[in-house]
Amino acid sequence: MRALLTRIEQARGLDRVGDRMQHAVQATLRPQRVRDFLHGVWLGHPLHPALVQVPVGAWLSAAAVDLLPGQRRSATALVALGTAGAVPAAVAGLNDWAALAPDQRRVGLVHATANLVGLALYGGSLVARLNGRHNLGRALSYLGLSAASAGAYLGGHLAYKQGAQVNQSISELHRISDGWHPLADLAALPQRKLITRSIDDVSVILYRHGDEVTVMLERCPHQSGPLGEGEVQQIDGHACVVCPWHGSAFRLNGGEVVHGPSGNDQQVLPTRVVDGILQTRLP
Ligand code: FES
């Protein structure tokens, strides 16, 4: 299985289809507000994994209920709920997929295909059940569950092995030692300019506004882009740093994500000034 997954990750032959699909998804899912909603910016957490709970829960429940006598209506209702719930989950997933790295996109393409086959089989199952063909409906459901399970396995690989839509910067905190770390002479820090510094080899950015200084991890939570090379923009009245790689934006006051594709906030670190020296530590 590991060898197969590695082959999928490296299957450049999938890129032609993937590139076309990526353009189609980006052209369809507009404006930015819609993309942000689907990335889970409003939630501070990727939306797709939350939405997939509906089809997974409903379809698994239908599989169990299908084994019980006299439960045809309940099973049909669960299949209908799962099938309807799979649509928004798929749309949010496609939106995340379009901003992934090439190796992640290849696995994501196979993940989406398996889930699409599962969805089609559950759609067929629902039609069969509504037409009174319950045995056929049950058989199609079990086939659909098999396809969706393969899709879920690939989704797990995408998240846990390849780190898709997982906060890429938070593990940096584990490399920072306890205690306060000196960062800069406050008087020498320029106003409203991004400055990059290191603590225990972990890169952070500093942004001074008046006497307030924000210290934030530099690696973008989306795919580790260098926020220190990003631009500062005013978004909704707040100074935000915009990632140079895919445009995720984070408030410099607090680290909240305001535009995706990151669905995660950026980590800011506490600060204090001692004898004119700006210091920071782990939260
Ligand atoms: S790395 Fe993708 S938005 Fe920053």
Give Cα 50 to chain centroid, integer Å: 11
- pTM value? 0.90
Spacing, Cα 204 to ligand 1 middle (Å): 16
56 pLDDT more than 90? yes
Question: Measured from the CB, is residue 220 less than 6 Å from ligand 1?
Answer: yes
200 pLDDT more than 90? yes
- In sequence order, what are the residues at sequence separation of 6 or more whose Cβ sits closer than 8 angstroms to the Cβ of residue 164? 96, 100, 104, 108, 158
The predicted pLDDT at position 1 comes to 87
The predicted pLDDT at position 103 comes to 95
Question: Measured from the CB, is residue 281 less than 6 Å from ligand 1?
Answer: no
For a ligand 1 pocket test, name from 96, 246, 257, 266 the mutation site with the most ligand atoms within 8 angstroms of its C-beta: 246
Nearest atom, ligand 1, residue 168 CA: 1
Per the rule left: phi > 0, alpha: psi between -120 and 50, beta: everything else, 247 is left
- The two counts, helices (H) then strands (E), for the chain are 8, 11
Q: Are 185 and 208 in contact (CB under 8 A)?
A: no
Question: Measured from the CB, is residue 243 less than 6 Å from ligand 1?
Answer: yes
Per-residue pLDDT reduced to its tens digit, 101-121: 999 999 999 999 999 999 999
Per-residue pLDDT reduced to its tens digit, 209-225: 998 999 999 999 999 99
Spacing, Cα 278 to ligand 1 middle (Å): 28
245 is written with which tokens? 């790689």
